[in-house]
Structure 1
Amino acid sequence: MTQFNITIDLEELLEDISMSNLNEVSKQMLAIILNNVMEEERNQFMGVDEYKRSNLRNDYRNGYYNREYMTSIGKIELKVPRTRSGEFSTRIFEKWQRQDQSLLLALTEMVVNGVSTRKVTNIVEQIVGESVSKSFISNTMKRLDPEIEAFSKRSLTQKEYPFVSVDAMYIKVRENHQVVSKAVYIALGTTSEGFREVLGFQVANEESEMDWREFLRMLKTRGLTQPELITSDSHIGLKKAIRKEFPGTPWQRCTVHFLRNIIQTMPKKNTSEERFLLRQIFHTSTPQHAREAKDRFIQYVADNPRYNKSIEILEEGFEDSIQYSIFPASRQRYIKSTNTLERLNEEVRRRERVVRIFPNIDSAFRLIGAVLLDHHEAYQKSTRHLSGF
């Protein structure tokens, strides 16, 4: 099997570790690895693998007992193997104390590096004190994939998500000996009680209407019902996909993106008053007040031909940009832009910058899924809902 080597800048990696919120994912990885290492230790002690018969057997398996174990990344729960005689004792805890930081770095590399079997093998061998097979490491790490797969395909029927934000980002993946660009679709939902959840993600070939429709259909298949509002940027394919998959749902054009598009066409100097009047449009809480603020801005700049393009863009996208204003004022700041989703994308991007080029789709799916799962679980554990819901 072809091996892919990815160059890691250690200082950049350590900076990402310090800024990261991947402890939950790292703890899951650590528990899986240590459980498998202890299982391998018991096999060697007994002289026979599980479900195998042998006259050279030294003992019999006797299940497991749970043990909480404190590490530098927090408390983890392990399944410690037992034998009938009680003579088996794992060496993992003593060895782990000496290799804590090394394994933590390796675990972080697993997340940001798409899991390099060779690198993980080297670290696990340091802990166990003897060689382990590549298949052992590969099988261990593959156990993470079902968790991410289950997260990406979980049912959405238990809750209602009246507000949904969708966005795309681009990554580079090595495919057929070439580096190609892939689109990553991410959907963030807000429940009726004001709690956020990562609804789903998908790695697609490009940002097109067909791919966006496939992504939205996947969410519907998993149980997403008609939202009250969908917020996104103004990508043409995405807009068409929303209209076709969720007919009747208002589309909110992200006000942050929209303002940026308008400001880019305005003169660069001496425009503070014009920019203030423009931003006031989206600080209003009713459609009528927004229209009045728009008229004030247009009247102020109408005599200056340098604002013709700005006025044209504003007029064209105005109604789509104030759909938030039909909802209660207490909810509007959460639904008028994709800011929260943009911040989530940036969390993915920080790890992706370390990798630069993913060796394959599976490694991209694993990294992005791990980051999103970590944030989703943080949302789930939060006891604070968005005020106003």
Structure 2
Amino acid sequence: MSTTRGRTALAAVGQEQHDDTSALLGAAAHHGGEKSPQRDGETPLRDLLGDHVLDLLLERSRDGAGGLRLTGQGSMLGELVKAVLERALEAELSAHLGYGKHEVAGHGSGNSRNGRIGKTVQTGVGPVRLSVPRDRAGTFEPMLVPRRAGRVSGGLDDMIISLYAHGMSVRDIQHHLRQIYEVELSHEAISNITDAVLEEVRAWQARPLETVYPVVFLDAIVVKVRDNHSVQAKPAYLAIGIDADGDKHVLGIWLAKTPLDTATAGESARFWTSVMTDLRNRGVRDILIACTDGLNGFEDAIHHAFPHTIVQACVVHLIRNALRPVARRDRATLAAELKKIYTAPSEQAAFDALTDFTASTWGQRYPQAARVFETAWNRFTPFFAFSPAVRKLFYTTNSIESLNYQLRKVTKARGHFPGDDAVVKLLWLAIINIEDKRARERAITKEKTGKIKNSPSTARLIEGQRTIGWREALIELDIAYPGRIR
């Protein structure tokens, strides 16, 4: 999925129907002998309506206190939407019949206009009462406002999907629409609107990937999902890969399935084998370095799929695990001692620092801190083969954790999800929303300063973020793993 496609995903729902309707209206205007409306931007709407019409709209939109009622039934925007929709429906009927209203071409045609029928539809500005035209043969099927549809897609659908992507539950969206726009939509209707993006989510999940990823980061956020008739805490795993050009991409979202004979969903060799198989099926043939936080069953699975991959333990996670049982008053001092291990100039120097720490007073007081590094030693040391500048690129999963931090803000408001698809749908929408927000921040920064600021708050996490210092890293990786990158 390209970056542009991702950023426009929220606004694209219902666009196909809008385009078809626009084409139909153009045809209707042609058949009816009417002039095509001028495109937006050529003539301001105020000039088209005129001050007299605007004054009338203002007068009709005032409430009892003299204020303006802009949305809801009978409001200014509601009246405008009603007029535009009814005009469009008339154009659709003209296109269907093949002649305009009151034209002699309709005499003896076998079908003609047959009055109107009232119908209330929900729109982005609230409920609107329409007069829908009918034909005598009963063959007219409006595309803009279908017979059994209770809403006009487009702006309202986009609003619902945007609210959903920001973490609002279906019940919260119902309340918001009712309170602000006086729109009544059922739980099923809102779910159907958000489900409209599932097809694009599945296409994104199955899209082809690069053949080689020099570095891949994996991490998880925990969500509550209904599975096997009970609500369980399940990890949702995300992977960010750096390709040969140094661009970062979210490779996918995976949730562990709960076996029927177990009570919880967790990490397992079987699950990670399925993830690695998915990556291979989508075109990945080699991963040089995979940085994780010590996932159960992961190492065996990735070596089965990619035998030459080096697994790098996330150093930040190791430090956290080492400090977890340490008294709060001692953490700063102990962290300074542990820093001598992971900032050592070489693997041997790191081993000597660990030995000194184990024999020290702090090591005797907190032996489990040293044990964390001893247990993960083979996964902890690979990054020592590179220069300090290159080590910073892959010795920690912070690149993906910053994304997960944003995603947790969206998921924490949910009690639980009805299924795995609902989790993937929300996470994907949230990822797109995060990228869209940061793209706007980058555009503002570029407009003010003339250059793009690279910082955690404006970094592109989704598609195409360029890894800083990648050229030097690529040279060292190519020397360490000759012939594997290109």
Contact 1:114 1:366 in 2 (8 A): no
1:79-98 aligned at under 5 Å gives the runs none
The aligned amino acid for 1:161 is Y
Match of 1:107 in 2: 161
Q: Deviations over 1:162-210 (max 9, x none)?
A: 1111122221123465323333121111122322111111122222221
Aligned residue for 1:172, secondary structure, equals strand
Q: Does 1:255 align with 2:328?
A: no
Matched positions, count: 332
Structure 1 residues 373, 325: CA separation in 2 closer, same or farther (over 3 Å shift)?
A: farther
1:311-326 aligned at under 5 Å gives the runs 311-326=370-385
The alpha-carbon deviation at position 237 of structure 1 amounts to 1.8
Where in structure 1 are there 5+ consecutive unaligned residues?
1-22, 48-57, 69-80, 89-94
Contact 1:209 1:237 in 2 (8 A): yes
Aligned residue for 2:224, secondary structure, equals strand
Aligned residue for 1:179, secondary structure, equals strand
Taking the aligned partners of 1:137 and 1:66, their CA distance within structure 2 comes to 32
Taking the aligned partners of 1:217 and 1:149, their CA distance within structure 2 comes to 17
Q: Deviations over 1:234-280 (max 9, x none)?
A: 23222332233322321111111111111224454346444212112
The aligned amino acid for 1:351 is V
Q: Deviations over 1:341-379 (max 9, x none)?
A: 122222221111122311233222211122334567844
Contact 2:174 2:187 in 1 (8 A): no
Match of 1:169 in 2: 221
Match of 1:233 in 2: 293
Structure 1 residues 31, 98: CA separation in 2 closer, same or farther (over 3 Å shift)?
A: farther
Match of 2:421 in 1: 362
Q: Does 1:146 align with 2:199?
A: yes
Structure 1 residues 269, 115: CA separation in 2 closer, same or farther (over 3 Å shift)?
A: closer
Looking at both structures, which has the greater relative contact order when contacts are Cα pairs under 8 Å and sequence separation is at least 6?
1
Taking the aligned partners of 1:150 and 1:264, their CA distance within structure 2 comes to 41
Structure 1 residues 341, 132: CA separation in 2 closer, same or farther (over 3 Å shift)?
A: closer
Aligned residue for 2:244, secondary structure, equals coil
Match of 2:358 in 1: 298
Q: Does 1:283 align with 2:343?
A: yes
The aligned amino acid for 1:192 is A
Q: Does 1:197 align with 2:253?
A: no
The alpha-carbon deviation at position 213 of structure 1 amounts to 1.2
The alpha-carbon deviation at position 219 of structure 1 amounts to 0.8
Aligned residue for 1:162, secondary structure, equals strand
Match of 1:347 in 2: 406
Contact 2:213 2:244 in 1 (8 A): yes
The alpha-carbon deviation at position 336 of structure 1 amounts to 0.7
Taking the aligned partners of 1:166 and 1:268, their CA distance within structure 2 comes to 29
Q: Does 1:187 align with 2:239?
A: yes
Match of 2:69 in 1: none
Taking the aligned partners of 1:67 and 1:218, their CA distance within structure 2 comes to 46
Segment of structure 1 superposing worse, 113-122 or 216-225: 113-122
The alpha-carbon deviation at position 28 of structure 1 amounts to 2.9
Percent of aligned positions that are identical? 21
The alpha-carbon deviation at position 335 of structure 1 amounts to 0.6
1:325-344 aligned at under 5 Å gives the runs 325-344=384-403
Structure 1 residues 34, 66: CA separation in 2 closer, same or farther (over 3 Å shift)?
A: farther
Structure 1 residues 215, 101: CA separation in 2 closer, same or farther (over 3 Å shift)?
A: same
Contact 2:160 2:193 in 1 (8 A): no
Structure 1 residues 114, 144: CA separation in 2 closer, same or farther (over 3 Å shift)?
A: farther
Structure 1 residues 380, 369: CA separation in 2 closer, same or farther (over 3 Å shift)?
A: closer
Match of 2:469 in 1: 387
Taking the aligned partners of 1:140 and 1:134, their CA distance within structure 2 comes to 10
Contact 1:148 1:373 in 2 (8 A): no
Q: Does 1:211 align with 2:264?
A: no
Taking the aligned partners of 2:310 and 2:429, their CA distance within structure 1 comes to 32
Aligned residue for 2:234, secondary structure, equals strand
Contact 1:195 1:385 in 2 (8 A): yes
Taking the aligned partners of 1:312 and 1:233, their CA distance within structure 2 comes to 16
Structure 1 residues 133, 288: CA separation in 2 closer, same or farther (over 3 Å shift)?
A: closer
Contact 2:312 2:381 in 1 (8 A): yes
